[in-house]
Amino acid sequence: MATSTEDDDFRQKSHTFLSWTDQQGIVLSKKISLVDLRHLLLGRAVYSTEDIEEDEDLFAIPRSAILTPQTTTLPTQITSELDDPWLALILVLIYETQQGSHSAWKPYLDILPTEFDTLMYWEESELNLLQGSAVVAKIGKEKANETFTNHLIPIIRNHEEVFYASTLSNHDLLVLCHRMGSTIMAYAFDLERQDTNNDASAEDGWEADSDEGGPLPVGMVPMADMLNADADRNNAKLFYEEDRVVMKSIKKIASNEEILNDYGSTPSGDLLRRYGYVSPLYAKYDVVEISQTIVLSVAQAVLEISETDAQQRLEYLEAEIPTDAFDIARAGSEDGQFSIEMLATLRCLAMAQADFNKLKSKGKMPSDKQLDAGEHTVIRVLQAIILRRRQEYSPEPAQPITTRPETLHDRHIRHQVMAQQVVSGEKLVLQEAYSTVSNMLATTDNKRKLDDLEAEALGQSEKRQRS
């Protein structure tokens, strides 16, 4: 638990930050307040202080108050050495942090976290708790180390006097790079470019994450990054205007209600990897990734086709369909329980050779419709894939981890609980998927039995008539 000194420091930093926002021309609604949710492990958060109507401005931030390579005092010739917007912003955050009290951004930087629960910081024994989940392979720590070592640290070393880095070892710099990279992953926003064509869409503001014209610039947006997110409880959204960004309410918000941003349809594993937490409300977005290796191995066994034949068919599909990995989602998912790419791949693998040759000669692709109960062969392969994938997870613990809220302040216990939530959610995805295909097979088998009985009865009737 925090001491009184830590509480005083926390409040002082919040107060200094709010004063700084006023100096930067950031306009805050009088209906919101920055609050302390450390007891819930949520750091700072934004709450309403009175009722808010839909489409009210909660706060507006001029673009000059967004920390980017364009608004920092780090010389542009240094950041121009990098093509990647993320790497450039990491360099900016390192520079501004190293400036200490000389940085104009210090009151803002002081309220950003220095420790994270994201998977990049988990111990190996804790990551083992996620056995089976594809999210572990997405952490990318080794690749990040390589990127920082080859691209960022040399720049810092070439400008040590600018970064106050002469007393820092390469290990120190690597730790700084990871800290700033994690900060950007959890808190930064993709920024719409300023409108230079007076496009009419600017009238209503734009939504983030457009990919037109290449990678979008990335920036740290003060106050916007104080908002937490919790799926369907989302009640605010950031809109982009020519000279400012505005956080608006997207529904009515009652007094003393948390203002919550939107992270989209993020599975629990990715939520943990990017932001360092899990929430039951994101469980409906959970998916299980199926590797091409599993698909090939199982298809060969069930369909009794050669590896060469299977590879040839995959190579044909790759021109139109990504076949390196596929997703299975929760039952009732808006995009379907089984990815259409996987179903198209299985249909192709299950085709008779003559049918595949005909498909190929016409330059066509297999059907990408959702699964039909009549596709008995495809369903059998899919059922075997689900069973194989389930084997990659560790068995359930003898007893679920039970904790009191206060014990979650223990980092290791917290990680255990979150890992269990991720793995349990993914196992549920496979359980639902297995039930779906098993029910389809049962329906098909029953129909076949009925057809056989009808055919037998018809044959006996014709025989009696002949006699």
Can you tell me the distance from the alpha carbon of 347 to that of 377, in angstroms, rounded to the nearest whole number? 9
Q: What is the CATH number of the domain that holds 338?
A: 3.90.1420.10
- Looking at residue 149, the DSSP 8-state letter turns out to be I
Whether the Cβ atoms of residue 119 and residue 113 lie closer than 8 Å to each other: no
Q: Averaged over 438-448, what is the pLDDT?
A: 76
- Looking at residue 192, the DSSP 8-state letter turns out to be P
- Looking at residue 310, the DSSP 8-state letter turns out to be H
Neighbours of 270 (CB within 10 A): 21
Which pLDDT value is given to residue 210?
A: 41
Q: Are residues 242 and 340 in the same domain?
A: no
Q: What tokens does 397 get?
A: 């613990």
pLDDT (tens digit, 9 = 90+) per residue, 49-66? 999 999 999 999 999 999
The answer, yes or no, to whether residue 462 has pLDDT greater than 90, is: no
pLDDT (tens digit, 9 = 90+) per residue, 261-311? 999 999 999 999 999 999 999 999 999 999 999 999 999 999 999 999 999
Can you tell me the distance from the alpha carbon of 187 to that of 109, in angstroms, rounded to the nearest whole number? 12
Q: Is residue 417 part of a domain?
A: yes
Q: Are residues 58 and 18 in the same domain?
A: yes
Q: Are residues 55 and 94 in the same domain?
A: yes
Q: Is residue 410 part of a domain?
A: yes
Q: Is residue 123 part of a domain?
A: yes
Can you tell me the distance from the alpha carbon of 310 to that of 350, in angstroms, rounded to the nearest whole number? 10
244-249 vs 57-62, strand pairing mode: antiparallel
Can you tell me the distance from the alpha carbon of 191 to that of 188, in angstroms, rounded to the nearest whole number? 9
Whether the Cβ atoms of residue 266 and residue 282 lie closer than 8 Å to each other: yes
Q: Are residues 199 and 315 in the same domain?
A: no
Give the pLDDT band (50/70/90) at residue 466: low
Q: Is residue 91 part of a domain?
A: yes
Q: Are residues 325 and 378 in the same domain?
A: yes
Q: Is residue 449 part of a domain?
A: no
Q: What tokens does 106 get?
A: 């210090």
Q: Are residues 347 and 260 in the same domain?
A: no
Length of the chain equals 467
Neighbours of 69 (CB within 10 A): 20
Q: Are residues 216 and 125 in the same domain?
A: yes
Can you tell me the distance from the alpha carbon of 375 to that of 384, in angstroms, rounded to the nearest whole number? 15
Q: Are residues 57 and 123 in the same domain?
A: yes
Q: Are residues 227 and 360 in the same domain?
A: no
pLDDT (tens digit, 9 = 90+) per residue, 3-15? 778 889 999 999 9
Neighbours of 375 (CB within 10 A): 19
pLDDT (tens digit, 9 = 90+) per residue, 308-358? 999 999 999 988 888 789 999 999 999 899 999 999 999 999 999 999 999
Summary mean pLDDT of the chain: 89
Q: Are residues 94 and 240 in the same domain?
A: yes
Q: What is the CATH number of the domain that holds 135?
A: 3.90.1410.10
Q: Is residue 272 part of a domain?
A: no
Q: Are residues 69 and 183 in the same domain?
A: yes
> Into how many domains does the chain fold?
2
Q: How far apart are the first and last CA of the chain?
A: 93
Q: Is residue 130 part of a domain?
A: yes
Q: Domain span at residue 117? A: 4-264
Q: Is residue 178 part of a domain?
A: yes
Q: Are residues 46 and 184 in the same domain?
A: yes
> Out of 17-21, 180-184, 316-320, 355-359, which region has the weakest mean confidence (pLDDT)?
316-320
Which pLDDT value is given to residue 44?
A: 95
